[in-house]
Amino acid sequence: MSDLLYLQIRNDEGALERVLRTTRHRGFQLETFTVTTARDPQFFDVTLRVSSERPVDFLSRQFGKLLDVVAVSELRDASLARSA
């Protein structure tokens, strides 16, 4: 089962790499990774689709510990909701 996460992160050197490294080190498989420039150029909006045997809130809590991460949200995927 895959889960969808939204992050707002600072546009700092290495921030995207830290997010990807945390995802991998915590045992989550990255399915999609979308980055857009936020309204404020100091931030990125990141959407990740991940899968794992572990609960997604474990990864959300880990992201919350990263200094570059400003916000973390678990998103409800509309396509998953329609098929359920």
CA distance 55 to 76: 15
pLDDT score, position 1: 74
**Per-residue pLDDT tens digits for 3-60:** 999 999 999 999 999 999 999 999 999 999 999 987 889 999 999 999 999 999 999 9
Angle at 66 between CA 63 and CA 68, to 5 degrees: 110
CATH of domain 2-70: 3.30.70.260
Domain extents in the chain = 2-70
Q: Which residue has the tokens 């990255």?
A: 30
